[in-house]
Structure 1
């Protein structure tokens, strides 16, 4: 691998650490819940192992950082990179475009509770509920999710395009939520979010995307 190829821009996806609702399997989108102690430890541990000069996530290579404005993602960002990091000054943006899928009427419910609710409302007589195709009552459809993710992806590609051959480091970090990051990955590689691409991000997990040049 040449030096230039080694600097091909990457997109780091970081899922926030565990919360009490995530621990219980409750669907969490708009509810502004904080990390629990386990979640804070997850992020701090990943930061120690993977963040720093010469490590996987090198702050010197970060060109932009996009963070969901929920409390749990803000805490994750601060634990991961530090609340007053000089390198991050002017490089990070809080944006609603990467908030979790809005679950609407299903907010705070567990999977089986959602299915019971839908049956009570007369839904799913012919097939089981699938969030990817059916969306959420009172919340977002897949088309709305795709639209806002596509906006952020366009921004990222505009940032990285002038530096695709290693002209300068142009990595981007996205700190967000489990389901929306799975959706982001599908859109990044040009797939609809209904595509059955198996992806799973544990709380406090990091993944890396890139592009062919």
Structure 2
């Protein structure tokens, strides 16, 4: 579930380390998603969660608190199922923090970069910020943690859903690494504020990660 920085005061700007809250529109979108999708018997069922990983930015924490009831938050936290981790932090934009794409590309040209092609964060990274291999390393480490929760639950032996609450670039980067694609792989993705994406495995096999492009919602028993 992304907080998506479109819901922040820095709309259109690269805000990685800047610790800003959601705007009112972002709050409303997350609340709407929570009402529809989060709760017992719903797509994101707290009872089926093995763990929740949250980015350290306040807007990610705010997203979690808006989407879940206070009681569900307390139960998850009391069970030790909530972790705030820098592994899910937004891409470190370095010199580009607070800038828009057009400004970044102009700055890079001033610095003598991108003579053959325009800046692409997935390939080129950020000056004085994170490079693709650095983001890859931290997300791969998180994926290993997630596999630890799910490796013994491939056939429903136990509840093993894992929820990530983070940001636009970090979540899209996570999808690439989940599928074992390099960061520069041209996979076009879109995320809405408060949106929910689902990743899974084919054939109940940890070595066959997949995107669930069609979601079947829970049915009443």
In the superposition, the TM-score normalised over structure 1's length comes to: 0.90
Give the superposition deviation at 1:199: 1.2
Match of 1:201 in 2: 191
Match of 1:71 in 2: 58
Q: Are the aligned partners of 1:19 and 1:33 in contact in 2 as well (CA < 8 Å)?
A: yes
Cα distance in structure 1, aligned partners of 2:28 and 2:48: 25
Cα distance in structure 2, aligned partners of 1:140 and 1:148: 11
Runs of 4+ in 1 over 6 A off after TM superposition: none
Match of 2:150 in 1: 160
* 2:78 corresponds to 1:91: no
Give the superposition deviation at 1:127: 1.2
Match of 2:9 in 1: 20
Q: Deviations over 1:97-151 (max 9, x none)?
A: 0101100000000110111111111111221111111100000000000000000
Cα distance in structure 2, aligned partners of 1:82 and 1:142: 36
RMSD (CA atoms): 1.1
* 2:44 corresponds to 1:57: yes
Cα distance in structure 2, aligned partners of 1:118 and 1:194: 19
Give the superposition deviation at 1:27: 0.4
Greater length-normalized contact order (CA 8 Å, ≥ 6 residues apart) = 1
* 2:98 corresponds to 1:113: no
Cα distance in structure 1, aligned partners of 2:16 and 2:45: 29
Q: Are the aligned partners of 1:67 and 1:174 in contact in 2 as well (CA < 8 Å)?
A: yes
Match of 2:27 in 1: 40
Cα distance in structure 2, aligned partners of 1:112 and 1:188: 30
Q: Are the aligned partners of 1:69 and 1:95 in contact in 2 as well (CA < 8 Å)?
A: yes
Match of 1:4 in 2: none
Give the superposition deviation at 1:202: 1.5
Cα distance in structure 1, aligned partners of 2:69 and 2:41: 17
Give the superposition deviation at 1:83: 4.6
Q: Are the aligned partners of 1:60 and 1:87 in contact in 2 as well (CA < 8 Å)?
A: no
Give structure 1 stretches of 5+ with no counterpart: 1-13
